[in-house]
Amino acid sequence: MAEDNAGRIAERDGFIVTKGKNKKQLQCDTDSSAGCVSQRACVYCGARVVLNPITDAIHLVHGPIGCASYTWDIRGSLSSGAELYRNSFSTDLKEQDIIFGGAKRLNAAIDGLVEKYQAKLVFVYSTCIVGVIGDDLEAICTAASQKHNIEVIPVESSGFIGNKSAGYRAAGDALLRLIKPSEPIVKSNSINYLGDFNLAGEAWIIHNYLRQIGVELNVTFTGDSHYTALKSAPKAKLNIIQCAGSMLYLAGKMEELYQIPYIQISFLGIEDTAASLRKIAATLGEKSMIAKAEALIAKETARVEAIIKGYREKLQGKKAAIYVGGGFKAISLVKQFREIGIDVVMIGTQTGRKEEYETINNLVDDGTVILDDANPAELERFMMEKGAHLLVGGVKERPLAYKLGIAFIDHNHDRKHPLSGFEGAVNFAEEVYSTVCSPVWKSLSKSGIDRGVTNHG
Partner 1 sequence: MLDCTPKEITERKSGGMINPAKTCQPIGAMYAALGIHKCLPHSHGSQGCCSYHRMHLTRHFRDPVMASTSCFTEGSSVFGGGANLKASIQNVFHIYKPDVMAIHTTCLTETIGDDVSSIIKTAEVAEGKLVIHANTPSYVGSHITGFSNMTKAMVSYIAESTLPVKKEQVNIIPGFVNPGDMREIKRLVKSMDIEYIMFPDTSGVVDSPMTGEFEMYPEGGTTVEQIKDTGNSQLTLALGRFASSDPADLLNKQCKVPAAVLKTPIGIKATDALLMTLRNSFAREIPKELEIERGQLVDIMTDTHFHFHGKTVAIFGDPDIVTGITEFVLSLGMIPVHVLTGTPGGSSNSAAGSFEDDINEMLTTAGITANVKSAGDLFTLHQWIKNQPVDLLIGNTYGKYIARAEDIPFMRVGFPILDRSVHSYLPIVGYQGAMRLIEMISNTLLDRADRDAKDEDFELVM
- Kindly identify the residues of this chain, within the stretch 13-52, that bind partner 1 according to CB under 8 A: 31-45
Map the footprint of partner 1 across residues 118-137, applying CB under 8 A: 127-129, 131-133
Nearest CA-CA partner of 57 in 81, 21, 24:
81
* 3 state SS of 77: strand
Q: Binding to partner 1 (CB under 8 A): which residues in 51-90?
A: 60, 63-72, 83-84, 86-90
Is 387 an interacting residue with respect to partner 1 (CB under 8 A)? Answer: no
State how far the Cα of 106 lies from the Cα of 128, in Å rounded to an integer.
Answer: 15
* Footprint on residues 288-347 left by partner 1 (CB under 8 A): none
Among 52, 77, 91, 332, binds partner 1 (CB under 8 A): 91
Give the integer Cα–Cα distance in Å for 121 and 117: 10
* Residues 271/250, Cβ–Cβ less than 8 Å: no
Write the burial class of residue 443 (CB in 10 Å: 0-12 exposed, 13-18 middle, 19+ buried).
Answer: exposed
Amino acid at 174: A
CB of 25 to partner 1, least distance (A): 23
CB of 282 to partner 1, least distance (A): 40
Q: Which is nearer to partner 1, 106 or 260 (CB)?
A: 106
Is residue 150 part of the contact set for partner 1 (CB under 8 A)? Answer: no
- Tell whether residue 117 is a contact of partner 1 (CB under 8 A): yes
Site for partner 1 in 399-418 (CB under 8 A): 399-400, 402-405, 414
The closest of 170, 167, 137, 146 to 60, measured between CA atoms, is: 137
Q: Specify which residues 88 forms β-bridges with.
A: none
Show Cβ contacts of residue 247 under 8 Å, excluding neighbours closer than 6 positions: 168, 172, 194, 195, 221, 241
For 46, 168, 185, 350, 372, the CA distances from 30, given in Å and listed in that order, are: 16, 16, 39, 10, 10
- Using the contact rule CB under 8 A, the part of the chain among 2-10, 232-240, 243-251, 363-371 near partner 1 is 2-10
| Alpha-carbon gap, residue 254 to 134, rounded angstroms | 30
Measured from the CB atom, is 43 or 254 closer to partner 1?
Answer: 43
Q: Which long-range contacts (CB under 8 A, 24 or more apart) does 258-264 make?
A: 258/185, 258/233, 258/234, 260/192, 260/234, 260/236, 262/194, 262/238, 263/238, 263/239, 264/240, 264/328
Q: Helix, strand or coil for residue 326?
A: coil
Interacting span for partner 1 (CB under 8 A) from 109-117, 177-185, 189-197, 357-365:
109-117
Q: Does 144 bind partner 1 (CB under 8 A)?
A: no
Rounded-to-integer distance, Cα 341 and Cα 128, Å:
45
Q: Which residues in the 346-385 window bind partner 1 by CB under 8 A?
A: 376-377, 380
> In whole angstroms, how close is the CB of 68 to partner 1 at the nearest point?
7
Q: Which residue number, 60 or 213, has a Cβ lying nearer to partner 1?
A: 60
Distance in angstroms (rounded) separating the CA atoms of residues 111 and 115 = 6
Nearer to partner 1, 289 or 391 (CB): 391
- For partner 1, the binding residues in 415-454 under the rule CB under 8 A are 444-446
Under the criterion CB under 8 A, does residue 10 sit at the interface with partner 1?
Answer: no
Residue 109 is a binding residue for partner 1 (CB under 8 A): yes
Of residues 24 and 446, the one with the C-beta less far from partner 1: 446
Stretch binding partner 1 (CB under 8 A), from 277-285, 329-337, 360-368, 390-398: 390-398
Among 49, 51, 97, 284, binds partner 1 (CB under 8 A): 97
User: Using CB under 8 A, which of 147, 211, 309, 396 touches partner 1?
Assistant: 396
CA distance from start to end of the chain: 50
> According to CB under 8 A, which one of 22, 25, 29, 94 is a site residue for partner 1?
94
The footprint of partner 1 on this chain (CB under 8 A) covers a number of residues equal to 80
Instruction: Write down the least CB distance from residue 81 to partner 1, Å.
Output: 10
